[in-house]
Structure 1
Amino acid sequence: MDFMETRNCRLSEIDFTDRSFPFSFGEISQKLIESIKQVGLLQPPLLQAAATGYKIVCGRRRLEALRQSGVDDVVVNFFAVPAGQIKELFRRALWENLAQREFNPVETADIYNKALEIFSEEELRREIKPALKIPGRERFHKRYLAITGFSAELRELLAAGIIDLESVDLINGWNDSELGALIELIAETGLRRNKLREVINRLDDLARRDRVSPCEPLAAACASVRDSDGKIDINALRNQLKVKLYPHLTTAREKFAGKLEKLSLPADIRLESPPDFEGGEYRLSFSFSDRRQWQDSCDKLNSIVLDDIDEICSRS
């Protein structure tokens, strides 16, 4: 590109608020900051002239790290790009970044939404979506459109990997107060990814089934599982939502506990029901430390009559 030149500039000349090339979002790693403190920038960032100062085309993380390091002077590659060639500059920045790292979900969403303004449908299908690993189906298009509309707090949680992309599909229809309640829950409990998705899924199912806001089952469940210090027991919360969503679980658990009590199994023999009593197999285990304990356990198991086993396996 013959319109590029290398020059010095001050960080104060760079417009850090401009997001024309949205290739970075999230915290700057301390490792990058320390690296720049020790050896400086090994690769100049790419900038473009603008009325409000230089736009960052590529290298925002490095420039942010410089700013946090207290450095002001920086060597950059400067582009004087005609309006019609912005597409090529965007493409260059995309592949420069991809050569060094993968984008987090928020970066992917921001880049994709900006690309929608610049590239044709054919270019998006042929190059941009594959580069960003965005499948062609409509639901993925909607997913990444939704992310750009999330609050800053929610976007930060997504960029940090606390909320995953499957959860995005579930909370896409939630309003601001519902999303605010979810953010408060995450802050209080430290829930993340798989367990968080499970909670979100059950809240969404309960809200749809009962035609209420997700805030209602969430508030009720949290109130019932707070310990003496007022903290939320995460596992108890998950179980409470499961029982609320599947009322038969409480009855099934109580019946199984009663049948188990009638068997009077010794402490070293453990009989477990199928998960959630939804099909599956019962599991029997016992522990022993010598031959005598082994024999005692076997004798006890042999003494259980088949009628008792039928009773245990009965779902009625």
Structure 2
Amino acid sequence: MEDSIFIHELRGKTIENIHHASVCVVDEMKKVIFSKGNMTLPVFYRSSMKPIQAILPFSIGIEQKYSLTPEEMALTFASQRGEYYHQERLESLMGKLEINEGQLICPPAYPANEKPKEDCIRRGGQKRRLFHTCSGKHLAFIATAREKNWSTVGYHLLEHPLQQEIKKVVAQFADMNEHQLIVEVDGCGVPVYAMPLKNLAISYLEFVSPTIGNNQLQQVLGSIKTVASMHCEYVSSFGYLSTTLLEDKNIFAKAGAEGVVCLALKAEKLGLAFKIFSGTELILPSLIAKVLEELDYQNKETIEKLYQLHKNPVYNSKNTQAGTIQVKL
């Protein structure tokens, strides 16, 4: 791909894998100030869309009506990993919202993280819809449909009023017309949208440099950012990319599957979007760290944490250095 970022994984001095990536950074005027790679190829949000999908549930006041905790609200836009603290809050969220687990259309799954998954299997536990990494979002969707007097049946279908409302919000945040959005089905069964990388970056810019909506919308966005920052371990899990980024109070971010991340820098008023086209997620931290260095980002601790997420140099199972990762901007 012309002008792509090349990420080389070396075993010793020999290139073993090559990944192509693109990145786009926009300023508060929605002007591209840094870009590499293909800026026209459509990129799916995947789970990076969850904070935007959460705007409607946050807007209708389910937090107040059902006395939801900030941790429970964080789960409404999380890619939770099935840790015990996730499971406990998900059970509480489902109970408070008076939703039956069978209403969720996301498929049954084991907890995503290895330890709770092994424990579940060891004690004879079964896969559950509540363990699915997107279950909190689905609980919020059902509650929102009910509060809006829409049918909760088929809440995941594009023609459902809930998904039509979300589509409008996505287009508005991405600075696009609805007919320009490419729509397909995400891994958990709900609509997911694709667009050029610049528009993904613009949509996250809205969280830190708003140009649309009224005071109520700004309060909602503030609530989402606060919950994500204060309870980042519920958005994903310690040691994972989204949580590591959110530990920096100046960053609002959400990672998605297949090598996608969207984030915003609050003080700098910048929106950023990343895509690795091989779909790998392991080397995303190194790519983000390299771009933050290029932008002269001041929080060096965050950059170092990102490099440590996927250690570079790379060590083998005998703890011997086996290779390195090189990001070539």
TM-score normalised by structure 1 residue count: 0.24
Considering fraction of residues, name the structure with more strand: 2
Kindly indicate whether structure 1 or structure 2 has the higher relative contact order, using CA contacts under 8 Å at least 6 residues apart. Answer: 2
Considering fraction of residues, name the structure with more helix: 1
Greater Rg by CA: 1
TM-score normalised by structure 2 residue count: 0.23
